[in-house]
Chains A and B, each alone.
Chain A
Amino acid sequence: MLNLDLTNLERITRGNQSSLLKYLRQFKELIPERVSQLRQMIKEKDRKGIRQCLHKMSPQLEFFGVNDAVVLKHRLELEYDSFPQEEMEAMLEQLLDKIDQSYLEIDKVIAKHV
């Protein structure tokens, strides 16, 4: 695995396959919609919207070990007005890239457990 850390998932599901699959499928269901909202907010340069999207998706990403969203969320909280636009956009692109890769990895994990 390049991006995902499944420690939290394994701990909470305690070897229960159906519970494990539930979380993996939930990631596949919820994340694309949130990513598309985030892309829209980036396009509109809507900082408040970006922050809200990150808030919404960061617990799930953090659970799967993708911590970039959390870092970005904190920076947006502390430097809401001053966070340079270019730097923010670069970090968001990096995050979206990582989410895309995680999404593909999730498919492989699901295939292994079905």
Chain B
Amino acid sequence: MSFKISCLIIDDDPFIQDLLSDKLSFFNEIEVIGQALNGRDGLKQIEDKRPDLVFLDVEMTDMTGFELLSSIHDIHFKTIFITSYGHYAIKAIRFNALDYLLKPIDLEELRNAIRRFKEQGEKEPSNKARHLVNNLKRKAEDQLLILKVQEGEFCKPLKDIICIEGDRNYSRIKLVGGSAELVAKTLSYFEELLEDKDFFRIHKSTVINRLHISKVKNEFIVLSTGEEIAISRRRKSDFIAWFNKDEV
């Protein structure tokens, strides 16, 4: 007997519900065990049916997908968000290394998301949805940055990140205490992901954390480690504006 992944779809749009359900029927290993048209019904079905995987709409009429997760004590399932929303939701999802699909759900993207779900299941990662819920309650500096890395998962509070150096397709995250983590992400990825978390790209190969700037000299900044980093001429006025603005 083959193992099936039980899924629940929570979305207040009946069109998306039907579309996703029909697309999931292409996958033999998936069984849709329920569909909910609002957050309240979704919560009830999660409790009653205990699915392995929940496809969760970010923005519903009665609550957001984030609020729904926040109200669950034991998040025993994995989550794939579904959204047509732009920046704010997708950023929060990516920041917590969670998965998402954009409406109206491309079959190939769905296939990839299911493949990633199955891979994650084998490696038993920490509960990312719980991280997201906790991160939403924390101050920016205490939030945990979660990244998939070769050995599993990188998970550190933002306040422990001094700076991030880019080297083509890789970035080196320099941490308090002198250690560093090499990750297969570009510096532009971090620039965008962390721009509203008080990080700034000071020149083409470095993103710095405001918390670790100990001094600003004319063309340089001095980090808490004593390291001096040049401020790019092109970015200098933006840097000054960013540095002088109120803390986030």
Cβ contacts B1-28/A at 8 Å (1 or 0 each): 0000000000001111011001100000
Q: Is the interface of A mostly helix, strand, loop or mixed?
A: helix
- Contact at B104–A62, with CB atoms within 8 Å? yes
- Contact at B14–A77, with CB atoms within 8 Å? no
- Contact at A30–B15, with CB atoms within 8 Å? yes
Q: Which of B15, B86, B87, B105 has the most CB of A within 10 A?
A: B15
**Per a CB cutoff under 8 Å, which of A11, A22, A56, A73 touches B18?**
A22
A7 interface contact, C-beta 8 A: no
- Contact at A12–B23, with CB atoms within 8 Å? yes
Q: Which of A19, A27, A60, A62 has the most CB of B within 10 A?
A: A60
**In the complex where A12-B23, A19-B22, A77-B86 touch, is A56 in contact with B13 (Cβ < 8 A)?**
yes
Specify which chain B residues have a CB less than 8 angstroms from the CB of A74 in the assembled complex.
86
CA distance A58 to B107 in the complex (A): 18
**In the complex where A12-B22, A30-B14, A59-B15 touch, is A77 in contact with B87 (Cβ < 8 A)?**
yes
Cβ contacts B49-62/A at 8 Å (1 or 0 each): 00000000001000
CB-nearest residue of chain B to A12: B22
CA distance A30 to B84 in the complex (A): 17
A:5-30 near B, CB below 8 Å = 8, 11-13, 19, 22-23, 26-27, 30
A47 interface contact, C-beta 8 A: no
Specify which chain B residues have a CB less than 8 angstroms from the CB of A59 in the assembled complex.
13, 15-16, 19, 84, 103-105
A55 interface contact, C-beta 8 A: yes
Chain B min CB distance to A87 (Å): 20
Chain B contributes a number of interface residues (CB within 8 A of A) equal to 17
Cβ contacts B142-165/A at 8 Å (1 or 0 each): 000000000000000000000000
Cβ contacts A63-95/B at 8 Å (1 or 0 each): 100000000011001000000000000000000
- Contact at B59–A63, with CB atoms within 8 Å? no
CA distance A11 to B104 in the complex (A): 14
B85 interface contact, C-beta 8 A: yes
- Contact at A26–B18, with CB atoms within 8 Å? yes
- Contact at A12–B85, with CB atoms within 8 Å? no
CA distance A8 to B106 in the complex (A): 10
Specify which chain A residues have a CB less than 8 angstroms from the CB of B13 in the assembled complex.
30, 56, 59-60
Cβ contacts B93-108/A at 8 Å (1 or 0 each): 0000000000111010
Cβ contacts A23-66/B at 8 Å (1 or 0 each): 10011001000000000000000000000000110111011000
CA distance A59 to B59 in the complex (A): 14
**Per a CB cutoff under 8 Å, which of B14, B59, B103, B107 touches A26?**
B14
Specify which chain B residues have a CB less than 8 angstroms from the CB of A62 in the assembled complex.
103-104
CA distance A54 to B96 in the complex (A): 27
Specify which chain A residues have a CB less than 8 angstroms from the CB of B59 in the assembled complex.
55
CA distance A74 to B98 in the complex (A): 23
Q: Which of A26, A27, A59, A73 has the most CB of B within 10 A?
A: A59
- Contact at A58–B84, with CB atoms within 8 Å? yes
**Per a CB cutoff under 8 Å, which of B18, B23, B84 touches A23?**
B18
Chain A min CB distance to B192 (Å): 14
CA distance A82 to B234 in the complex (A): 25
Chain B min CB distance to A26 (Å): 5
CB-nearest residue of chain A to B82: A59
- Contact at A12–B86, with CB atoms within 8 Å? no
- Contact at A55–B85, with CB atoms within 8 Å? yes
